[in-house]
Amino acid sequence: MILFPNAKINIGLNIISKRDDGYHNLLSLLYPIPFYDILEIIESKTSNPSYSGLHLKTEDEYIQSLYSFLRKKDWVPGLNWHLHKQIPPNSGLGGGSSDLACFANYLRRYDPVNKHWNEIKDYVLDLSTDAYYFLYNKSAMVEGKGDVLIKSSLDLKGKYLLLLFPGLSMSTATAYDQILPKIKKTSSFKPNSSNISDWKNNLINDFEDNFSKIYTPFIPLKTTLYQLGALYVSLTGSGSVLYALFDKRLDNKNISLPRHKWIKL
């Protein structure tokens, strides 16, 4: 079977506090976007996974870890897979987590009465809190360490998303190690389709301060994108890809931008 794990963007990302278990309490709205990896899975007597596309370092271990854990169970058959990476690793787009969630959801065909589903979800959450979101994979407010999902009605269909790739990489662990949670006033602002024009005044990604010190063009680039008509500009997750949301696609031939990709939502 061929599957297409998709990416996501964070619309606002607040780090509330450091938890005793080493994670952070956060608040963010996660929105799935049509930017995909390609994952082929077949039943096989031997497992010899292969990879192509963008270079991987550690994200491929997610699938292998889950498979090794479940292969000890008598209900999981031998599986082999090929993963073609198109979503950049360490970009904040959640590619590795989406791959893992897609693989986990595939396994449900061998568990028709959901006898083992809670065990799978718990293991996925231990590996990646973003992967826990991708098991749901719809617009949702995410709280706690990423394990509390609240359905959101946000629908960005018809908008245009500009992804910008600055050519640097920042691991999630490193980004979180550098973050310092700040006491914030509780905000009642909830992003939705009717208040997009207010997002830039009410939503912020807490990782942007540190990111702007590493990638100094970030602030002027953000300003330029707003001048060009962007509705909202932010950092994806903990970085390092930027995104801008537009009503219509720009003719940006005469605009100096980093490597980029347009996506119609």
CB 161 within 8 A of CB 265: yes
Domain ranges of the chain: 2-151, 160-264
Q: Does the pLDDT value for residue 264 go beyond 90?
A: yes
Examine residue 194 and say whether the peptide bond preceding it is cis (omega within 30 degrees of 0).
no
pLDDT digits (tens, 9 = 90+) for 195-225: 998 999 999 899 898 888 889 999 999 999 9
- Quick check: is 74 catalytic? no
CA pair distance 211, 197, nearest whole angstrom: 24
| From 8, 85, 159, 222, active-site residue | 8
pLDDT of residue 179: 66
In this prediction, residue 100 has a pLDDT band, given cuts at 50, 70 and 90, of very high
This prediction's pTM: 0.91
Question: Mean pLDDT across the stretch 126-139?
Answer: 95
pLDDT of residue 201: 93
Tokens of 156: 């960005």
| From 37, 60, 99, 130, active-site residue | 130
Q: Which residue shows structure tokens 């450091």? A: 18
pLDDT digits (tens, 9 = 90+) for 223-254: 999 999 999 999 998 878 999 999 999 887 67
Strand ranges of the sheet holding 140-143, from the earlier edge strand across to the other edge: 6-18, 24-36, 140-143, 148-151
Q: What are the CA-CA distances from residue 98 to residues 8, 18, 20, 69, 117 (Å)?
A: 9, 25, 26, 18, 17
pLDDT of residue 239: 78
CB 13 within 8 A of CB 26: yes
Question: Mean pLDDT across the stretch 54-73?
Answer: 82
Q: Does the pLDDT value for residue 59 go beyond 70?
A: no
Q: What percent of the chain is predicted at pLDDT more than 90? A: 67
pLDDT digits (tens, 9 = 90+) for 173-195: 666 666 666 666 556 788 999 99
Q: Which CATH number fits domain 160-264: 3.90.950.20, 3.30.160.620, 3.90.1150.10, 3.30.70.890?
A: 3.30.70.890
Q: Which CATH number fits domain 2-151: 3.30.460.80, 3.30.2010.10, 3.30.750.80, 3.30.230.10?
A: 3.30.230.10
Residue-wise burial string across 12-25, b where 16 or more C-beta atoms lie within 10 A, e elsewhere: bbbbbeeeeeeebb
Question: Mean pLDDT across the stretch 148-166?
Answer: 96
Residue type, 109: R
How high does pLDDT run on average in the chain?
89
Enumerate the β-bridge partners of residue 262.
162
pLDDT of residue 17: 84
Q: Among 83, 95, 87, which residue's Cα sits nearest to residue 41?
A: 83
Report the 10 Å Cβ neighbour count for 193: 12
- Quick check: is 155 catalytic? no
| Equal fold, 2-151 vs 160-264 | no
